[in-house]
Amino acid sequence: GEVLEEAVNNGTTQALTDNDLRPAMQPKVDVKEFDKGKDLEYTVEVEILPTIEPTDFSKIKLERMKAEPAKTEVEDAIKRLADAQKTFEADPKRKSENGDAVVIDFVGSVDGVEFDGGKGEDHSLELGSNSFIPGFEEQLIGKKTGDHVQVKVDFPADYGSDELAGKAAVFEVDVKEVKVASAAEINDALAERVGLENLEALTTAITEQMSGDYDGMARQRLKRELLDILADSHDFDVPQGMVDQEFEGIWQQVEQQRAQDGDDAEGEDAGKSDDELKEEYRDIAVRRVRLGLLLSDIGTTNNIEVQQDEVNRAMAEQARQFPGQEQMLVEYYQKNPDAMNSLRAPIYEDKVVDFILELASVSEKKVSVDDLMAEPEATDKPKPKKKAAAKKKAAPKKKAAAKADDAEEKPAAKKKPAAKKKAAAKKEAE
């Protein structure tokens, strides 16, 4: 009962402390004897965090890409903004063209039976927007106000509704208005519509936004290069239990993706057996765990911490993505430690990375936007597998206060939140 559990917990904690051991995961306890009037005897099996040798970060050499938006890119962005601000004016005599908007009433049916979601009134549809199922908008081109059109289409085989997927449908459509588009002029008035003083200010804002986006991409590539260097320069054994746990998470994502893709699976995983894939993804799990432990050790050694206000900002950013549900989302994070850690972990990782980059030798290389966006060479292929760290089996305990006589290895520094887990894709394994 509770007395036994408390005695075991206290004894285990004392044994680990006496032997200067830091467990990687929850120790496994096996009670050997617990009879009234006799000593409590149990064994503890525990995986120990590895000892990680310090790294001289000043010897790390990195290259940060720097790309600036071209004048034509900025101009194209302004044109897209103007297009998004375009207005439509009704023309009762006009025959609709691609790019026009039509106001329609419609009723859809399959095999003569109307279906849910197949009816609409006064719906404004921009022709060429591809917002309706394939073939629908094309049949409304060349029509004018007052026309009745019978639109015949086939729902795609992968349509979201199983009841409609692959089915032939007929829509009875009444064209109530045809509206011709009028693009917004690129001038100070356009800038004022989006809250800026003039066209010059708009151009500056878009240029700065693009530059910021490119700097963010460069940062991710630099981080990836750094993590590759760290992974390649450390080869310590990792606790098998942590690898198993990481692999299970990765493999679950792989199976979910395969279930979604069905027989249409493509990419480097296509055609491989489960055994082949499991071996590859287990290597990735080893790499992730090793990097997580390494970053944790670096952060702990250098007193890097995540402040609550940093977590709060990340929480607020998440909440903004769910308008109207902000309070509900905040309460969810507050009540779920794992969810809260999912916010804290990437912040911690980035702070450790920033710390290393401050000490490393980082040069800047000007590149084109195409070079920045090009897929980097595959550098995440794991090296030959090293064995996982052996489990330590403590000696039988007496009266819950005995020492683990055969457990002598010192662990690494106290573990901080591991690196944020990425999607189960090889190119994202860091």
Mean pLDDT of 382-399: 41
Distance CA 321, CA 316 (A): 9
If pLDDT is split at 50, 70 and 90, which confidence band does 272 have? Answer: confident
Question: What's CA 336's distance to the chain center, in Å?
Answer: 19
Residues 6+ apart with CB under 8 A from 340: 311, 333, 334
Two domains, one topology: 57-69+202-389+413-428 and 87-182: no
Mean residue pLDDT across the chain = 83
**What is the C-alpha R_g of the chain?**
31
> Which pLDDT score is estimated for 88?
93
Residue 360 neighbours by CB under 8 Å, 6+ apart: 57, 58, 60, 61, 62, 226
Q: Could you tell me how far CA 30 lies from the centroid of its own chain? A: 39
User: Cα angle vertex 297, ends 296, 300, to 5°?
Assistant: 85
CA dist 7 → 43, 184, 329 (Å): 13, 76, 39
Got the DSSP string for 312-355? HHHHHHHHHTSTT-HHHHHHHHHH-HHHHHHHHHHHHHHHHHHH
The CATH code that applies to domain 87-182 is 3.10.50.40
Considering 28-42, 333-347, 372-386, the range whose residues carry the highest mean pLDDT is 333-347
Q: Which of 278-282, 360-364, 372-376, 400-404 has the lowest mean pLDDT?
A: 400-404
155: pLDDT strictly greater than 80? yes
- 3 state DSSP class of 109: strand
pLDDT at 39 over 80: no
Query: For position 34, what pLDDT does the model report?
Result: 60
For 410, phi then psi, to 5°, come to -80, 140
> Within 13 Å, how many C-alpha atoms sit on residue 115's CB side?
17
Per the CB < 8 A criterion, the answer to whether 396 and 41 are in contact is yes
Work out the pLDDT band at 17, boundaries 50, 70, 90.
Answer: confident
| pLDDT for the residue 400 | 31
Is residue 372 within 8 A of residue 217, CB to CB? The reply is yes
Sign of CA dihedral 156, 158, 159, 161: positive
In sequence order, what DSSP letters do the residues of 195-228 get, joined into one string? Answer: T-SSHHHHHHHHHHHHHHHHHHHHHHHHHHHHHH
CATH class of this structure's domain 57-69+202-389+413-428 = mainly alpha
**Does 406 have pLDDT greater than 50?**
no
In which residue are the tokens 């199922």 written?
Answer: 133
3-state secondary structure at position 262: helix
State the pLDDT at residue 32.
Answer: 61
pLDDT (0 to 100) of residue 298: 96
CA-to-CA distance for 227 and 232, rounded, in angstroms? 8
- State mean pLDDT over 263-267: 61
Pick left, alpha or beta for residue 357 (phi over 0 → left; psi -120 to 50 → alpha; otherwise beta): alpha
Q: The pTM is what?
A: 0.69
Most confident of the following: 100-104, 252-256, 316-320:
100-104
Q: What is the pLDDT of residue 313?
A: 95
Q: What mean pLDDT do residues 148-167 have? A: 93
Helices (H), 233-273: 240-261
Q: How confident is the model at residue 397 (pLDDT cuts 50, 70, 90)?
A: very low
Higher pLDDT, 174 or 263: 174
- Average pLDDT (393-405) is 34
Q: Express as a percent the part of the chain with pLDDT over 70.
A: 79
What are phi and psi for residue 413, nearest 5 degrees? -60, 165
Checking if the pLDDT of 395 tops 70, the result is no
pLDDT, tens only, 19-35: 666 777 777 776 665 66
Q: Which two tokens stand for residue 252?
A: 């679950």
Give CA separation, 138 vs 37, 83, 111, 296, in Å.
Answer: 88, 21, 22, 57
At residue 412, the pLDDT reads 33
41: enclosing H helix or E strand? strand 41-46
In this predicted structure, what is the pLDDT of residue 403? 29
Residue ranges covered by each domain of the chain = 57-69+202-389+413-428, 87-182
* Of residues 405 and 128, more confidently modeled: 128
416 versus 223: the higher-pLDDT residue is 223
> Which residue type occupies 417?
P
Is 425's pLDDT higher than 60?
A: no
More confident residue, 184 or 259: 184
Would the pLDDT of 207 be above 90?
A: yes
The two structure tokens encoding residue 308: 């609550």
Contacts of 26 (CB under 8 A, 6+ apart): none
Alpha-carbon span 98 to 126, nearest angstrom: 8
- Mean pLDDT within 402-416: 33
pLDDT above 50 for 372: yes
